[in-house]
Structure 1
Amino acid sequence: MELRGVSVHYGRTCALSEVDLTVGRGETLALLGPSGSGKSTALKAIAGFVRPSAGRVLLDGADITDLPPSRRGLGVVVQNYALFPHLRVADNVAFGLRARRLPRAEVRERVRETLELVGMAGYARRYPRELSGGQQQRVAIARALAIRPPVLLLDEPLSALDAALREDMVAELLRLRAELPDTTLIHVTHDQGEALALADRIAVMRDAKLVEAGPSGRLYHRPSREFTASFLGAANLIPVELVRHDGDDLVTVRLGGRELPAGPVTGVPGGAVALGVRPHRLGVHAPGRELFPATLKGVQWRGSGFRLDLDLELTSGSCPVRAEVATVDGLPGVGQRVGVSIPDGCPVVPLG
């Protein structure tokens, strides 16, 4: 699947701006971004639900930009599942097959196969109203898979589920991906955890534009854009001075009058740069000589640990940062000074 310079406009509103993106056969791509970033619009352009204002959509090298959704042969699962309430599960799954006028025996066999694939073989005679949210989602996926599409499009299919069920369905989607190695999955989500768990590659979107795309591990550990570092993994972006390049994508930076080894750094940063430090990698202690001074502004208990909001003291002022720690025993109270430790080797990203 390929997007070449695809833009979508609604009147004067730009919903998608000149997106170039390629997804390989059998690959899982997550379109990740906040609300209004253009990720669902990109999916709709692929599915044929919206007509690009510019650019082309290709499938296996063939231009499908002008084809209606029914002739693209793609599987689509939308947020509310869109099951037909008056049809039983088996008939919902069979709907696309009957529209293609397949023989009855083949329809029955494919319905049976796909319901078994998603673990819903025992629910064929039920109506959607008799199913839980997670079961309805499985039926929606089965209906999309029954036509044996080369590409399965998932538009935030887990957003309506509670947290525990969402974790179960992530595991289910991982199992399905292993069962269907030749099917390309394009998954729209605003949840970074889902994206990291499911996707081979992630395309980060913001303000109708593609910010950065690449393998999930590289974007998490080596982001090359400020927004990617902050949105994917919620990194603290701490302004630093680039002192020198040390080879192998490693650099030395200066923070608060002290030098730190850092990297990797993607390319040669120009202008202002920041150290991207994940909250769980920040250490917070009582004030100490070898630590960076900060003021503790807030404490939130999160069950498995604590989230701390701090103002890190810099030469030019202060920088708000967030830390995740297992315990606050031994720490001064809110409003008091603490000491912060920053590990070596954090990635460096350009600001702006």
Structure 2
Amino acid sequence: MTSTLTPVPATAVEAPAIGWDGVSVRYGDAHALRDLTLDVARGETVALLGPSGSGKSTALKAVAGFVRPTSGRVLLGGRDVTGEPPHRRGVGVVVQSYALFPHMKVEDNVAFGLRARRLPRAEVAARVTEMLAMVGMTAHRGKLPRELSGGQQQRIAIARALAIRPPVLLLDEPLSALDARLRQDMLDELRRLRGELPDTAIVYVTHDQTEALVLADRIAIMRDARLVDVGPADELYHRPPSAFTAEFLGGANLIPAEAVAGGARVGDRTVPAAHSAVASGPALLCVRPHALTVEVPGPDGLPGRVTAVQWRGSGYRLEVALDCGATVSADLPALTGVPAAGEPAAVRVGAACVVAREEP
């Protein structure tokens, strides 16, 4: 069941920068995207988040013009561009492989789109200088791509996409090829660039929830080629509308329960919840690993038994089989006393919410 789409702020005279209007993409009998309807406002960043095969990259390629919808329309600034080729859409695109021209110097890669538009030479030179300064790559303008690190190549790919000053920037898994440290550095860089592009609409495709939470104004959760949920990042995280979103965005534990006033009943214990999407009846108690505390058995916790303990440097990940039949994961600080595998324990629940038991 698809949730109601959160409306995007817009004025009566300003069309959304990007619009998918019932867009489907099919290859034979296989659907890569099913009936996607979603708008992105000017200056807004929307992350398309989901597992592999969920349709998020296909949705981006439909906007870029790399795939033709089987049905529906793609709109840019209110203009129907469904049948237009990529070069006429005026969007900037950055893909995970960077796609830099290996035989061109950095400055020529950045200038490529500008020269294709036949801009005056002086304007091209000025724009290249501006873009290289924006991404901190001025000192590398004379190098070839093979002389750069992965993070530096990614910066050049972004500079090339932004050089044409597109109203729309499409980023398809741009950090997936980088190691953990470079990924964090580039995430910080993208956050900074967002502040310098107040009028640019950005669509960011990722399977990494951290990237989506850090960068996006709104997150669109996708699954099996469909849009499942969409809303502000903090709202989806703290008040997920569906079990899939709760589990995928933040790795929440989902414990079968009975929704009651103010929370949920698990076995013979009542657990308070800050938000409930279910008034009463069968439901799932949604609680993230960091909001659980594992202690020696006592009257205030959900009884169970520790089945596994994994040290993670800064803390421990515990797996606990609850007496009610569910298994939960709990993250505990390293300085906390940790029960050993096989020992009985009680799980105390911190911040929690309640979602519908049915899968979306």
Amino acid at match of 2:294: V
The one-letter code of the counterpart of 2:303 is: P
1:79 is aligned to 2:89: no
Whichever residue aligns with residue 171 of structure 1, its letter is D
Give the TM-score, by structure 1 length.
0.94
Task: Give the CA RMSD over aligned residues.
Answer: 1.3
- State the match for 1:327 in structure 2: 334
Q: Is the 8 A contact 2:314 2:334 kept in 1?
A: no
CA–CA separation in structure 2 for the residues paired with 1:293 and 1:193 = 32
Matched with 2:291 is: 281
Distance in 2 separating the partners of 1:349 and 1:207? 21
Letter in 2 for 1:146: A
Match of 1:351 among 336, 352, 357: 357
Evaluate the alpha carbon distance shift between residue 290 and residue 92 of structure 1 in structure 2; reply closer, same or farther with a 3 A threshold.
same
Cα distance per residue 1:315-352 (max 9 Å; x no partner) = xxx10110000137544321221111012x51111022
Contact 1:265 1:348 in 2 (8 A): yes
Partners of 2:34 and 2:226 within 8 A in 1:
yes
Q: 1:312 to 1:116 in 2, by over 3 A?
A: same
- How many corresponding residue pairs? 341
2:81 and 2:335 mapped to 1: Cα distance? Answer: 57
Q: Indicate the SS of the match to 2:276.
A: coil
Distance 2:301 2:335 in 1: 17
Letter in 1 for 2:355: V
Deviation at 1:265, TM superposition (A): 2.0
CA distance in 1: counterparts of 2:231 and 2:299, whole angstroms? 40
Percent identical pairs in the alignment equals 61
Equivalent position amino acid for 1:272 in 2: P
Does the CA-based 8 Å contact 1:237-1:276 persist in structure 2? yes
2:299 is the alignment partner of 1:292: no
Q: Distance in 2 between matches of 1:60 and 1:277?
A: 40
Q: Distance in 2 between matches of 1:30 and 1:265?
A: 25
**CA contact under 8 A between 2:258 and 2:281: conserved in structure 1?**
no
Stretches of structure 1 that go unaligned for 5 or more consecutive residues are 245-250
Structure 2 residue runs of 5 or longer lacking an equivalent are 1-17
Out of 292-301 and 206-215, give the one that drifted further. 292-301
Distance 1:231 1:49 in 2: 28
SS class of match (1:213): strand
SS of 1:272's equivalent in the other structure is strand
- Measure the CA separation in 2 of the matches of 1:57 and 1:271: 41
Is the Cα–Cα contact under 8 Å of residues 294 and 340 in structure 1 kept in the other structure? Answer: yes
Q: 1:155 to 1:269 in 2, by over 3 A?
A: farther
- 1:247 matched to which residue of 2? none
User: Is 1:39 matched up with 2:56?
Assistant: yes
Which of 247, 253, 272 is the matching residue for 1:230? Answer: 247
Moved segments of 4+, more than 6 Å? none
Match in the other structure for 1:184: 201
Name the structure 2 match of 1:205: 222
Alignment of 1:1-352 (within 5 A): 1-244=18-261, 251-266=262-277, 268=278, 272-314=282-324, 318-327=325-334, 330-343=337-350, 346-352=352-358
Q: Measure the CA separation in 2 of the matches of 1:265 and 1:138.
A: 43
What is the alpha-carbon distance in structure 2 between the residues aligned to residue 293 and residue 270 of structure 1? Answer: 24
